[in-house]
């Protein structure tokens, strides 16, 4: 149960004064549905109203706060003209200008003969000073010094800055004083305020320095968020580590037989990863490991060799992939090895129906299917394993942590190996996978050719199309990836269809089309035709980003490459260069490029090391963007910015580790305060792990 002290923060925003259903919808769009979401909606700029000149000293184009006498109202002679109110001080006069004004409202706001404090941007019109639609008009007794420096917040259409700020101030007023969870020595050493004070300070900046990620209030709140994240991961990890698991001796007959049929030698880092897996599997404790491998580094082969050890002992292994295309790609790689050493493999996706599905489920349940490859279908209730000992989850970031756990729970204290072909910067690895040990494949298998990457303006697209004729004559196969128009499969598919029609007219019978709106069977049929050489140009959206393996494909054309992120460009490029032939990647861009897009394309041209690219991607886009919306298992960071707070992340991880060593069940006063912190940042699932032992 959430602690009662947090109830005011976890109320809907409609609990705040002046926030009705219409405004609540707009606030939810920009910040979230709860009062606490407004607390985390931090300002990105400020308006400084501290310039308090006399009228004669006020500078055009600058925000000024003036004390004025209201002299006269000057209604317009026609509706198209503005309403003007003449105001003055002892040094001169100016007009306050209002379009589409309500005279009765303005009379109430600015009664003739009264004194008002007015703030807005001064301008001149026909040689006279004026302020059009002032931001603030208040009597002197209602003037609040806090109005002189105003934070600026991200907005959405229809939500005014004034309404949002009033709601945020009301949200902060509801924030309680919470018990302190950070050791006093840490706080005093860094001169950090309390949680409540830090929250107030972040929303009341005095200067642009107060908005910096390095300000003491922001650092304090970032550390709180990182501690919540690292503590939650550490609790899950500790609970899973406490569970004993079956030990599987390493390097058995089956693994050696599978390795002997490989058409290539394992790389040094593949052997290193296998040694780490073997140590985990033989230890009697659960393997919980992340395998990071660049595009084409041979992760599937390494995963299968790890599976061989548990299969030899009579148990089963499963591999879960996020898409059917990727699941079938893994099946293709695994079946070639498995059939050579007598291991039966089954595939289970949403496509299998009726009698065929029942037969597959029966083979999984009786254990005759020793390796099961599938999609989300694997963790459905009807799937019962005979003895699942190793669960491999590919492209983990497309699943959630909960889904990983659900698959593992299909067996008794199942060993878990998580794989990703998206190299992740070290700081993000700690954030996303702090509950896992890490292995990395940093080399390409022997024989892989480097990819020649070139950037070409879209104005030369006809030359690129003409060059395809020469490539096809030499036996090449070509991917043509169409622009990411928006996060809409419908719009992206339309772009792909248009390019397909154009290329099909130039190369009749030689072009295929794949996009996310096609049925799975249609996609597979086109992919199979491309792999078999029946079609030679594959026009596609980004559905081919991961897992598609056609060694004969040697040309990748990415249209409007400036619209793609670095990691995505790298993944797409990784579809070529998978055989022994020289490959080319052409990045077509629309000029002019902005600085970020130019830096991305330069990085792609300069290196094909995914780990280098990942670090550059983090630098260019920031952590939130790199993790992205597809990181469905991870709560987004609202206060911590890992491009600035990377050192804090390491400190938070160490802090969480020390806390759990001293107080594994969080029963001390500090432990109870930390439970409140976990609830505050939505990491309360970890508390259930503590309670369940």
**Is the residue at 140 inside a domain?**
yes
Q: How confident is the model at residue 401 (pLDDT cuts 50, 70, 90)?
A: low
pLDDT at 186: 93
Residue 413 burial (C-beta neighbours within 10 Å; 0-12, 13-18, 19+) = middle
pLDDT of residue 486: 55
For position 35, which CATH number holds? 1.10.150
Contact 603, 618 (CB under 8 A): no
Claim to verify: residue 70 and residue 104 sit in the same structural domain: yes
Please give the pLDDT value at position 567. 80
Task: Report yes or no on 294 lying in a domain.
Answer: no
Q: Would you state the structure tokens that stand for residue 61, as one six-digit string?
A: 């184009």
Q: Residue 381 gets which letter from DSSP?
A: T
The reply to whether 683 falls in a domain is no
DSSP 444: P
533 and 464 belong to one structural domain: yes
Nearest to 375 by CA among 305, 328, 432, 315: 328
Asked if 1 and 116 sit in the same domain, the reply is no
pLDDT single digits (tens) 120-151: 999 999 999 999 999 999 999 988 766 688 89
Co-location of 14 and 144 in the same domain: no
CA-based nearest residue to 431, from 469, 395, 397: 397
Q: Kind of pairing, strands 388-394 and 451-457? A: unpaired
**Statement: residue 350 has pLDDT above 90:** no
How many whole angstroms separate alpha carbon 541 and alpha carbon 526?
13
Tell me the average pLDDT across 471-495: 77
Specify the range with the lowest mean pLDDT, choosing from 301-310, 586-595, 618-627. Answer: 618-627
Is the backbone of residue 466 left (phi > 0), alpha (psi -120 to 50) or beta?
Answer: alpha
For residue 117, tell me if it sits in a domain.
yes
Number of structural domains (the chain) is 3
Q: What is the pLDDT of residues 9-20, one digit of tens each?
A: 999 999 999 999
Return the pLDDT at 134.
Answer: 95
Greater confidence, 682 or 240?
A: 682
Per-residue confidence band for 424, with pLDDT thresholds at 50, 70 and 90: confident
User: Is the domain of 518 the same as that of 574?
Assistant: yes
- Strand pairing report for 553-558 and 583-589: parallel
Q: What is the maximal distance between C-alpha atoms in the chain?
A: 99
This prediction's pTM: 0.68
Q: What is the pLDDT of residue 636?
A: 64
Structure tokens at 83: 């309403």
Specify whether 33 is located in the same domain as 117: no
Q: What is the pLDDT of residue 516?
A: 78
Domain boundary at 142, 176, 210, which?
176
Helices 324-340 and 299-312, interaxial angle, to 10°? 50
Indicate if 535 and 597 belong to the same structural domain.
yes
pLDDT at 633: 39
Q: Does the structure show a pLDDT above 60 at 217?
A: yes
The verdict on residue 388 lying in a domain is no
CB 123 within 8 A of CB 130: yes
Whether residues 54 and 134 share a domain: the answer is yes
- Parallel, antiparallel, or unpaired for β 136-138 and 115-125? antiparallel
Same domain, 524 and 501: yes
More confident residue, 498 or 396: 498
Structure confidence at residue 406 as a pLDDT band (50, 70, 90): confident
Structure confidence at residue 353 as a pLDDT band (50, 70, 90): confident
Quick one: 473 and 587 in the same domain? Answer: yes
Boundaries of domain holding 21: 1-44+161-176
Does one domain contain both 6 and 127? no
Whether residue 485 is predicted with pLDDT greater than 70 in this model: the reply is no
Can you give the CATH number for the domain in which 102 is found? 2.40.50.140
Judging by DSSP bridges, how do beta strands 345-348 and 371-374 pair with one another? parallel
H or E stretch covering 227: helix 216-242
Q: At 658, which helix (H) or strand (E)?
A: helix 646-662
The SS3 assignment for 288 reads: strand
For the ranges 57-66, 275-284, 293-302, 488-497, which has the lowest average pLDDT?
488-497
Q: Please give the mean pLDDT across all residues of the chain.
A: 88
């Amino acid at each position: 149960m959430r602690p009662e002290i947090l109830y005011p923060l976890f109320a809907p925003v409609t609990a705040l004064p002046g926030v009705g259903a219409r405004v609540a919808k707009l606030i939810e769009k920009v910040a979230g549905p709860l009062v606490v979401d407004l607390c985390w909606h931090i300002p990105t700029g400020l308006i400084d109203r501290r310039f308090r000149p006399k009228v004669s000293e006020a500078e055009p184009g600058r925000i000024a706060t003036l004390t004025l006498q209201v002299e006269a109202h000057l209604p317009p002679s026609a509706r198209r003209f503005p309403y003007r109110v003449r105001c003055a001080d002892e040094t001169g006069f100016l007009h306050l200008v209002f379009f589409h004004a309500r005279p009765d409202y303005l009379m109430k706001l600015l009664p003739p003969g009264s004194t008002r404090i007015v703030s807005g941007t001064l301008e001149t019109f026909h040689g006279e000073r004026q302020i059009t639609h002032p931001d603030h008009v208040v009597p002197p007794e209602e003037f609040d010094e806090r109005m002189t420096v105003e934070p600026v917040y991200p907005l959405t259409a229809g939500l005014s800055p004034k309404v949002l700020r009033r709601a945020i101030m009301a949200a902060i007023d509801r924030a309680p004083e919470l018990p302190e969870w950070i050791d006093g020595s840490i706080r005093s050493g860094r001169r950090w305020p309390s949680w409540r004070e830090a929250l107030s300070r972040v929303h009341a900046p005095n200067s642009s320095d107060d908005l910096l990620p390095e300000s003491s209030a922001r650092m304090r709140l970032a550390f709180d968020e990182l501690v919540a994240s690292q503590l939650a991961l550490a609790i899950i990890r500790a609970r899973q580590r406490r569970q004993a698991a079956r030990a599987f001796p390493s390097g058995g007959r089956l693994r050696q037989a599978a390795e002997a049929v490989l058409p290539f030698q394992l790389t040094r880092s593949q052997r290193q990863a296998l040694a780490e897996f073997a140590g985990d599997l033989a230890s009697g404790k659960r393997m919980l490991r992340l395998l990071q491998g660049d595009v084409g580094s041979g992760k599937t082969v390494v995963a299968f060799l790890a599976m061989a050890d548990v299969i030899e002992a009579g148990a089963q292994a499963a591999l879960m992939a996020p898409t059917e295309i990727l699941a079938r790609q893994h099946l293709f790689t695994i079946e070639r090895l498995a059939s050579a050493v007598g291991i039966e493999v089954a595939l289970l996706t949403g496509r299998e129906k009726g009698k065929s599905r029942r037969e597959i489920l029966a083979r999984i349940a009786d254990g005759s299917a020793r390796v099961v490859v599938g999609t989300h279908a694997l963790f459905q209730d009807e799937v019962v394993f005979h003895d699942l000992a190793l669960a491999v989850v590919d492209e983990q970031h497309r699943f959630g942590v909960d889904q990983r756990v659900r698959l593992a729970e299909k067996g008794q204290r199942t060993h878990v190996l998580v794989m990703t072909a998206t190299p992740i910067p070290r700081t993000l690895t700690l954030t996303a996978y702090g509950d896992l040990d890490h292995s990395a494949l940093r080399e390409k298998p022997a024989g892989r050719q480097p990819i020649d990457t070139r950037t070409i303006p879209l104005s030369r697209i006809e030359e690129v199309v003409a060059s395809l004729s020469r490539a096809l004559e030499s036996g090449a196969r070509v991917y043509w990836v169409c622009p990411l128009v928006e996060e809409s499969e419908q719009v992206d598919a339309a772009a792909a269809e248009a390019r397909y029609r154009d290329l099909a007219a130039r190369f009749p019978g030689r072009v295929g089309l794949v996009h996310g709106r096609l049925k799975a069977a249609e996609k597979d049929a086109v992919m199979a035709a491309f792999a078999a050489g029946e079609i030679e140009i594959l026009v596609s959206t980004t559905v081919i980003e991961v897992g598609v393996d056609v060694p004969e494909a040697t040309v990748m054309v990415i249209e409007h490459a400036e619209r793609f992120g670095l990691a995505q460009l790298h993944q797409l490029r990784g579809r070529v260069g998978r055989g022994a032939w020289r490959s080319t990647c052409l990045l077509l861009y629309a000029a002019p490029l902005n600085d970020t897009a130019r830096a991305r394309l330069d990085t792609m041209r300069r290196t094909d090391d995914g780990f280098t690219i990942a670090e550059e991607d983090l630098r260019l886009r920031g952590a939130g963007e790199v993790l992205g919306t597809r990181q469905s298992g991870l709560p987004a960071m609202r206060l911590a910015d890992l491009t600035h707070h990377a050192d804090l992340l390491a400190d938070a991880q160490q802090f969480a580790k020390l806390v759990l060593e001293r107080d594994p069940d969080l029963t001390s006063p500090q432990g109870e305060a930390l439970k409140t912190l976990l609830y505050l940042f939505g990491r309360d699932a970890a508390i259930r792990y503590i309670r369940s032992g």
